[in-house]
């Protein structure tokens, strides 16, 4: 298990499934590629908590977003 870096130091990308009404989920793709840890956050609260997901957990989150899109 690795230590989660300072979220401010990461590049965050908005989800393509995010609504244009401020309901936005962001993730840190380079961190995921480097570590296998998928960090996810609410764009409205960038200093708030992050979810730390496995690849399987992230895939499940994406599947849920697609099914409700």
Do the domain assignments include residue 3? no
Q: Which domain holds residue 45?
A: 9-67
State the Rg of the chain over Cα: 12
Do the domain assignments include residue 1? no
Q: Sign of the CA dihedral 51, 53, 4, 44? A: negative
Do the domain assignments include residue 62? yes
Do the domain assignments include residue 16? yes
For the chain, the straight-line distance linking the first and the last C-alpha, in angstroms and rounded, comes to: 33
Q: What pLDDT sits at residue 20?
A: 60
Instruction: List Cβ neighbours of 58 (8 Å cut-off, separation of 6 or more).
Output: 27, 32, 38, 40
Query: For the chain, how many structural domains are there in total?
Result: 1
Do the domain assignments include residue 50? yes
Do the domain assignments include residue 33? yes
Q: Quick: pLDDT tens for 29-45.
A: 999 999 999 999 998 89
Q: pLDDT band at residue 9, thresholds of 50, 70 and 90? A: confident
């Amino acid at each position: 298990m690795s230590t989660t870096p300072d979220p401010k130091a990461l590049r965050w990308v908005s989800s393509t499934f995010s609504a244009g009404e401020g309901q936005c989920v962001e993730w840190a793709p380079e961190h995921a590629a480097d570590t296998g840890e998928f960090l996810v956050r609410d764009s409205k609260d960038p200093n708030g908590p992050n979810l730390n997901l496995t690849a399987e957990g992230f895939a499940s989150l994406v599947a849920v977003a697609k099914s409700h899109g």
